Structure 1
Amino acid sequence: MKKTLPALFLAMFIIPSFSFAGIKFDNLNINSENKMLYTVTQNTSGIKPYSVLFSYNLHDESSIAQNNLPDIITCYPEYLNSLNKGKKMQVRNRYGTAVYDFDNNTLNWIARSAILPEKSFSLSPIITSPDGTWIVFMRKVASSTGELIIQNADTKMYVILDREASYSYTNLPVKWSPDSKNFVYQKNNSVYYCNPEKMFKGIQLEEKYRRIGNGKIQNVQWCSNTNLAYIDSDIIYMIDERELSSLGIYSNFYDLGKVIGRLPEHFDPDTMEFKINSAATQMVMVKNNNFVSYYNINSVNTTDYVKLLNYKSYTEVFDGSYKFEILWPEFSKPVIWTDFISDSGKTSSAVYLFNEKNEIVNILSVEDSTSNAAISPDGKYISFSSGNSVFIYSVNPWSRIAEIKGEKTASLCWKDSSNLCIGGDQTVRLYNVPLKSENYLFLSQCKSATWDKLSKKIIALTDSYEEYFVYDEVKNVWQKIHSCEPLKAQVQNQDYRIYKAEAKNARYDNGIYVRHLSGKVNTFALYKEAMKKSAPKKKIALAFDLMNSADGVNTILALCEKYDIKPTFFINGEFIRRYPKEVKKIASSGAEAASMFYTCTDLTVKDFEINQDYIKRGLARNEDEYFAITGKELSLLWHAPFYKSNKMIRDAGSQAGYSYIEFPVEEDSIDSKAGKTLESQIIPITVGVKSDSEKNEFYTKLELLINSLMDGDYEIVSVSGL
């Protein structure tokens, strides 16, 4: 059933994911007309702190209420998305959703927080169709599930595709055809196709007749406007979009699509992804985020195995990678963008190309990247940020087109194939690639604001630019102004005095107080929430037990950096010997490293006698091996492998100077006691245990766990920080 939202993504604010944020008021200013300006800054896990400029009319003796909200006059671009074929741009941040209209040069808030968000939240991802007509997003309904929704960007009508989709803060199980006419989506363990125009007109086939086959969204890939590749086990099929309407109806009578090749191994959507060029003559396969294979597809004998074009393992080349994006320009070889954990333990990015010998070559390293890479709608350009610059490169041939300097960048999106929207730390700009020109749209944040003496308009200064920006109250946008006469900031006029003072709420660094000077003299808090006493923060630690594989370490480090949390890794000597690179990265990242003995074995078994000297020597050996690899010392925390110990083992560790970390375990697996983790304030997460019955490692759900803890008002600290 089609439904209408009163505003885009309004429903996405129903169940946000929260973390503690220190709210700080600053830059207080009031004029003779009782209009006041002030900024609010919040320190938030997952994103960098930024300030928001507010304007408010003082006209009575009461605090800000839901029916009397201040105006938000700067708009920080945490996420940007192009809509309506480039006619509009959506801006999302912790305060809500705004839409910029390029035709009218206006910015309007269509959904915003009723009051200051005392707790700040992680935003859910969205996918827009290439032409910006359709929006797919997920509305969270439980800690790990959500409703997968498609919405018309213009009419706001929406349809729920899946009511119990697995929730994710990074990916959505949807892929659009390049011409936006169709998309495929995953529901349970099946893949379906959909024509949004037909769906919203009510003439779409029932879902059971639109089923492509078993698998996940990784099993399918659009090759062109009309062709969809689908991998079933080791067979590659090519499906023409004209066949889609008959696939589900007749799937029991004939095979889907046309066989175009056979893989040398079974395709596992949990660990593999692929891309096929538009001509369906070549394909790239990525496995475990660090092994890349490049194949030829036999166009004559289509049932043959695909032919490997390179014969080298690229595991070392992609050391530390945790995310890939494959770009495939028309009539060219693929381009690979990868995010990885560098030797410093921090996230970084790089670009790779295939040379004439089909050898993969690193052509660009991107350090200090502050935004995701953005691909132009026609696939010709890739843009990304590094430091205080935004770079635009032509994909085929690979060459730098432009470098736009000035400020750090939070987000990027392409308005169309010629214009790039740059969501900067101070401003949001539109850059025209052919003309090499830029235009300021509005301010992201400012360092101070006041009024122009002559025009009475609000003007503001930013950290990056010397000129003032002037605010258009009608259009809610800002432009540079070359001449103005700024009024000196003041905190008192004929009716009021405004000032900052201590707040009772622990989530507030301070509060704004208003002293009424005329009529009934009184003082009140502008935000009454700042006067409410809040419960003390609850602390919890994530303890990662590294076992017999390094799978997931890079993802864990990337997420901990993203959410600014300090994890604790319990490391044994066998892991150190097997995976010295990962151990070095853990040490360099600043994470806490603790001991899990020098060998990963049950120390309580009765097969051989273990004494205190054995425990002490095992702990010392683990210390020495860690120091030899990293040049750093392990913390004096430890637990026995599998959390299995006895009094003698714990006493021996204590005599060696260690503190033992307890966790309630009665069986071989700690999973059965996961419910007791909150009692112990430690959540143990096993990393690197290979099991045929468990394809999905728990670390793949780590971001859900982090946000669930934030929902529960937990502060995530290291084990020693408890």
Structure 2
Amino acid sequence: MKKNFNFQFSVFKCLVFFFQFSAFSFQVAYSQVKFENPQINSEGRYLFTVSHQLGGTVSYKTLFMADAGKSEATRILTCFPERMEMLSGGAILQVRNRYGTARYSVADSTLSWIKREDSIPADAKAMLSQAVSPDGKWACYVKKTDAATGKLYLRNMSTLEEFLLNDKCDFDYDQVPAKWAGDGSVFVYEKAGNIYFGDPKAVQQKVQMEESFRKIGEGSINCVTWASSKYLIYINRDLVYKISSKELYTRGLYSQVVGVGIVIGRLPIPFDGRKDRFWVNSLINQIVTINSNSVISSYKVNGTASSYFTSVYSKPFKDIKGSPVNYDVFFCSDGSQILWVNLIGLNDGKLNSTVYRLSSELKELNRIENATRPLLSPDGRKIVFASQKVAYIYDLGTWLELGRLGGEKVYSYVWSNPSLLYIGGESTVREWRAEEKRFAKEGKMLFLSSARTAFWKPNAENVVCAQSAINKATFYDYDFFKNVWQASADDSRTSFEFMKKAEVDVYAVQNAHYRVYTGRTDNKLYDNALYIRDFAGMGKSYPVYENTVKATGERKKVSLIFDALDSAEGLTHILAVLASYDIKATFFLNGEFIRRYPQECKQIIESGHDCASMYFSVTDLTEKGYIIDEEFIRRGLARNEDEFYAATGRELSLMWHAPFYKANKAIKKAGEASGYRYIEAGRLALDTYTLEKAADGNKWYLGAKDLVKLYVDNAEPNMIIPVNVGLSDGTRRDFLYEKLSLLIGNFLDEGYEFTLVRNIK
């Protein structure tokens, strides 16, 4: 296998080149980076907004200020909360977005940027996760080194000093392979298929014990969780261990004698750290597992090492209205659990969440449409989530609403303490406090996330006023010293009149020395560019950002297609990932898939994706013994159309490929005569290669992360990448669809835009 890899890699590169379909694409309307609303005052200070509307990323407007007479960096006046973390025991609110990292000081109400982009990025990279310690003093994160791997670091969040923990680990946009104890005194991390623990202070002081003495056991980071600050729970197949945080070093030194911890019982179903999840309450007398994203099991912990846990509930999850994407489990004081299930609707394709109380039975509490992921409060008694431009607080035990904060779409939130929340919305970042037992009806605005437009107030040259991104009647004044905003001193009617007076022209504004305006650019990655016209001397015009006017071609495009032959195993995960990136794709459906999974077919089409044909039967059309003529192909395609229409009430797109991508010229010509365009990507369908085929020597095998790296390293404009929805026969260790988020994130990082395959020629 290994010795043939270089040859196979070279062959793959040739195949990528061959199947580009001439590197030409239809002209498709797509949004880019756009400069808007330039405004200049008499002193040469000017304002402008930049909007990013790129597929796969969050869209918002950012407000900037600069000085035409100075070359210093522009100042960012708004701060969009793509990600937020609480630092320094609640003293600092950290906000991260495409422009960098800013920190809000709670004590003096000041916002400052600690890291930021010097230019306007054309491509917004996916935001990376950070595992921040509960006390906010430390964080673990992975620095990407290639498409599928990275380096795991520990960072001191005060000094920003970094310490390497693992020089080669799996890279993931959504998860960091590290977990913190409740008091932040110790953490566990995954390395080379093993779990280790670490002390952040010892790491910083370089007195950390050798790693071999800090090994907990084999497994992934999903095999461990902190029940409390005092105890770590570790699962090795069916055995469940309890490890005291105070005894970690002792057990590490004498693990061969005393073992890795105290066995507290056994699971009747062996735990697989690659695909299973588990939760434990703080008293360590309850444990809940989710096996293969389907079987929900709740157990009582007996404390007897040799016995199985007492089963309270164990059933496959089933909901006639949707298919499960993922789960969250929260423990109540009465011994029950709150089970939060995120689903994709079978009939409408919409994302929704269902909340259950789990005890000896599963009782539905309510359904929430398009909800964000719930976050537990530090005291374990409340959770926060958002839906339909409203953030909600619920009491966990009673599942009664404690408060709601509305007005704008919510993108992030973080607890500072059990009675204080920070809510990051599309227009503002707000502080939300509890009043006695309930949360306040209104939050306190800290600073603006985004602004519709901004202007200099008349007769007050250094006063900036911004119009709310979501409410045209709301205006805010900027505090130059603290870099934050407050409600305008003028009433909305007066502010609106000021704004109209300030709008000299939507394209150009000038004073006695300069004119600032938006104009055309040869850079196809930007909709326009921002220019300064200097009237001094001979006079000249120049772009504010040089990179925005450098000539480039159109944005590179890539297309994902999904092949559904006769298995729907990965469909829910695929639809959820595509929805999270707001990407539309094309699914090629075989007749066998349509007959087996009519509801899933409707789920695909209602999720907004294209559906095309993979013929009506699971047949190798090139096998000897078949008499393939135009009539045979026409009938097979027509039958697939009819069955799809019967299942969904919709028509298939007029594109197809044969099962297994096995077709000759005659077959393709017959499909063309039926009005179909043939999509060729079979030689790139590498995730169909199974271990059995590899053992026979007929195919070469690569795991999912290696496939991602292969595709990314050999990326070309107009590349078509086929992804299998599920295998009908044979086995694989993992599947490409399981790494779909990694694949998409990498292509976004490389500046690609995802488009439907019908736009690739």
User: With structure 1 as the length reference, what TM-score do the two structures score?
Assistant: 0.91
Tell me which residue corresponds to 2:255. Answer: 251
Tell me which residue corresponds to 2:696. Answer: none
> Where do residues 259-278 of structure 1 align in structure 2 (5 Å cutoff)?
259-278=263-282
Measure, in 2, the Cα distance between the counterparts of 1:139 and 1:73: 28
- The reply to whether residue 478 of structure 1 matches residue 480 of structure 2 is no
Measure, in 1, the Cα distance between the counterparts of 2:338 and 2:428: 30
Following superposition, the deviation at residue 602 of structure 1 comes to 2.3
Following superposition, the deviation at residue 323 of structure 1 comes to 1.9
Tell me which residue corresponds to 1:305. Answer: 308
Measure, in 1, the Cα distance between the counterparts of 2:482 and 2:722: 52
Structure 1 residues 666 and 381, CA, compared in 2 at 3 Å: closer, same or farther?
A: closer
Following superposition, the deviation at residue 111 of structure 1 comes to 0.3
Tell me which residue corresponds to 1:316. Answer: 319
- The reply to whether residue 701 of structure 1 matches residue 739 of structure 2 is yes
Measure, in 2, the Cα distance between the counterparts of 1:41 and 1:680: 26
CA contact (8 A) 1:183 1:195 kept: yes
Aligned with 2:44 (options 18, 34, 46):
34
Tell me which residue corresponds to 2:615. Answer: 597
Structure 1 residues 663 and 431, CA, compared in 2 at 3 Å: closer, same or farther?
A: closer
CA contact (8 A) 1:21 1:120 kept: no
SS of the residue corresponding to residue 27 of structure 1 reads strand
Following superposition, the deviation at residue 529 of structure 1 comes to 2.8
SS of the residue corresponding to residue 582 of structure 1 reads helix
Measure, in 2, the Cα distance between the counterparts of 1:327 and 1:667: 41
Structure 1 residues 381 and 686, CA, compared in 2 at 3 Å: closer, same or farther?
A: same
Following superposition, the deviation at residue 695 of structure 1 comes to 3.0
Query: Residue by residue, what CA displacement relative to the aligned partner does 1:190-243 show, whole Å, maximum 9, x if unpaired?
Result: 111112222222232111111111110111121122121111111112122233
Structure 1 residues 90 and 247, CA, compared in 2 at 3 Å: closer, same or farther?
A: same
Tell me which residue corresponds to 2:452. Answer: 447
Tell me which residue corresponds to 1:76. Answer: 80
SS of the residue corresponding to residue 364 of structure 2 reads strand
Measure, in 2, the Cα distance between the counterparts of 1:397 and 1:207: 45
Structure 1 residues 329 and 668, CA, compared in 2 at 3 Å: closer, same or farther?
A: closer
Following superposition, the deviation at residue 622 of structure 1 comes to 1.8
Measure, in 2, the Cα distance between the counterparts of 1:420 and 1:699: 36
CA contact (8 A) 2:685 2:721 kept: no
Following superposition, the deviation at residue 563 of structure 1 comes to 2.2
Following superposition, the deviation at residue 252 of structure 1 comes to 2.5
Which stretch of structure 1 is more off in the superposition, 665-674 or 158-167?
665-674
Structure 1 residues 693 and 573, CA, compared in 2 at 3 Å: closer, same or farther?
A: closer
Measure, in 1, the Cα distance between the counterparts of 2:38 and 2:626: 72
Measure, in 2, the Cα distance between the counterparts of 1:56 and 1:667: 50
Structure 1 residues 677 and 517, CA, compared in 2 at 3 Å: closer, same or farther?
A: closer
Measure, in 1, the Cα distance between the counterparts of 2:370 and 2:720: 32
Tell me which residue corresponds to 2:145. Answer: 141
Measure, in 1, the Cα distance between the counterparts of 2:320 and 2:332: 23
Measure, in 1, the Cα distance between the counterparts of 2:685 and 2:558: 23
Aligned with 2:722 (options 670, 681, 684):
684
Following superposition, the deviation at residue 670 of structure 1 comes to 5.9
> Where do residues 291-440 of structure 1 align in structure 2 (5 Å cutoff)?
291-299=295-303, 301-310=304-313, 312-316=315-319, 319-342=322-345, 343-354=347-358, 358-369=360-371, 371-434=372-435, 436=440, 438-440=443-445
Which stretch of structure 1 is more off in the superposition, 221-230 or 476-485?
476-485
Measure, in 2, the Cα distance between the counterparts of 1:308 and 1:237: 18
CA contact (8 A) 1:21 1:118 kept: no
- The reply to whether residue 526 of structure 1 matches residue 534 of structure 2 is no
Aligned with 2:66 (options 56, 60, 74):
56
Measure, in 1, the Cα distance between the counterparts of 2:336 and 2:163: 38
Following superposition, the deviation at residue 95 of structure 1 comes to 0.4
Structure 1 residues 678 and 501, CA, compared in 2 at 3 Å: closer, same or farther?
A: closer
Tell me which residue corresponds to 2:6. Answer: none
Measure, in 1, the Cα distance between the counterparts of 2:577 and 2:684: 31
Measure, in 2, the Cα distance between the counterparts of 1:664 and 1:176: 45
Measure, in 2, the Cα distance between the counterparts of 1:91 and 1:661: 44
Query: Residue by residue, what CA displacement relative to the aligned partner does 1:400-431 show, whole Å, maximum 9, x if unpaired?
Result: 00011111111111122211101111111101
Following superposition, the deviation at residue 309 of structure 1 comes to 1.6
Measure, in 1, the Cα distance between the counterparts of 2:180 and 2:318: 30
Tell me which residue corresponds to 2:105. Answer: 101
Measure, in 2, the Cα distance between the counterparts of 1:310 and 1:568: 39
CA contact (8 A) 1:291 1:318 kept: no
Tell me which residue corresponds to 1:201. Answer: 205
- The reply to whether residue 662 of structure 1 matches residue 669 of structure 2 is no
Tell me which residue corresponds to 1:7. Answer: none
Following superposition, the deviation at residue 29 of structure 1 comes to 1.0
Following superposition, the deviation at residue 303 of structure 1 comes to 1.9
SS of the residue corresponding to residue 250 of structure 2 reads helix
Following superposition, the deviation at residue 658 of structure 1 comes to 2.0
Tell me which residue corresponds to 2:590. Answer: 572
Structure 1 residues 646 and 677, CA, compared in 2 at 3 Å: closer, same or farther?
A: farther
> Where do residues 6-45 of structure 1 align in structure 2 (5 Å cutoff)?
22-45=32-55
Following superposition, the deviation at residue 681 of structure 1 comes to 2.4
CA contact (8 A) 1:34 1:58 kept: yes
SS of the residue corresponding to residue 253 of structure 2 reads helix
Query: Residue by residue, what CA displacement relative to the aligned partner does 1:582-633 show, whole Å, maximum 9, x if unpaired?
Result: 2111011121111112222323233665555443332222222111111111
> Where do residues 601-620 of structure 1 align in structure 2 (5 Å cutoff)?
601-606=619-624, 612-620=630-638
Tell me which residue corresponds to 1:624. Answer: 642
Amino acid at match of 1:304: S
Aligned length: 693
Following superposition, the deviation at residue 446 of structure 1 comes to 1.2
Following superposition, the deviation at residue 189 of structure 1 comes to 0.6
Tell me which residue corresponds to 1:9. Answer: none
Question: Higher helix proportion, which one?
Answer: 2
Aligned with 1:116 (options 108, 113, 120):
120
Which stretch of structure 1 is more off in the superposition, 181-190 or 499-508?
499-508
Aligned with 1:188 (options 178, 192, 197):
192
Measure, in 1, the Cα distance between the counterparts of 2:301 and 2:91: 40
Following superposition, the deviation at residue 677 of structure 1 comes to 8.0
Measure, in 1, the Cα distance between the counterparts of 2:320 and 2:208: 46
Which stretch of structure 1 is more off in the superposition, 519-528 or 108-117?
519-528
Which stretch of structure 1 is more off in the superposition, 611-620 or 181-190?
611-620
Measure, in 1, the Cα distance between the counterparts of 2:155 and 2:117: 21
Tell me which residue corresponds to 1:15. Answer: none
Q: Cα RMSD between the aligned structures?
A: 2.4
CA contact (8 A) 1:372 1:412 kept: no
Measure, in 1, the Cα distance between the counterparts of 2:69 and 2:601: 61
Amino acid at match of 1:87: A
Measure, in 1, the Cα distance between the counterparts of 2:687 and 2:125: 33
Following superposition, the deviation at residue 70 of structure 1 comes to 0.9
Tell me which residue corresponds to 1:495. Answer: 513
Measure, in 2, the Cα distance between the counterparts of 1:546 and 1:194: 44
CA contact (8 A) 1:128 1:136 kept: yes
User: With structure 2 as the length reference, what TM-score do the two structures score?
Assistant: 0.86
Measure, in 2, the Cα distance between the counterparts of 1:445 and 1:215: 43
Measure, in 1, the Cα distance between the counterparts of 2:687 and 2:342: 33
Measure, in 1, the Cα distance between the counterparts of 2:730 and 2:217: 23
Q: Which ranges of structure 2 fall in alignment gaps of 5 or more residues?
A: 1-29, 690-699, 701-706
Measure, in 2, the Cα distance between the counterparts of 1:548 and 1:149: 43
Amino acid at match of 2:100: G
Identity of aligned residues (%): 37
Following superposition, the deviation at residue 679 of structure 1 comes to 8.4
Following superposition, the deviation at residue 693 of structure 1 comes to 5.2
CA contact (8 A) 1:278 1:330 kept: no
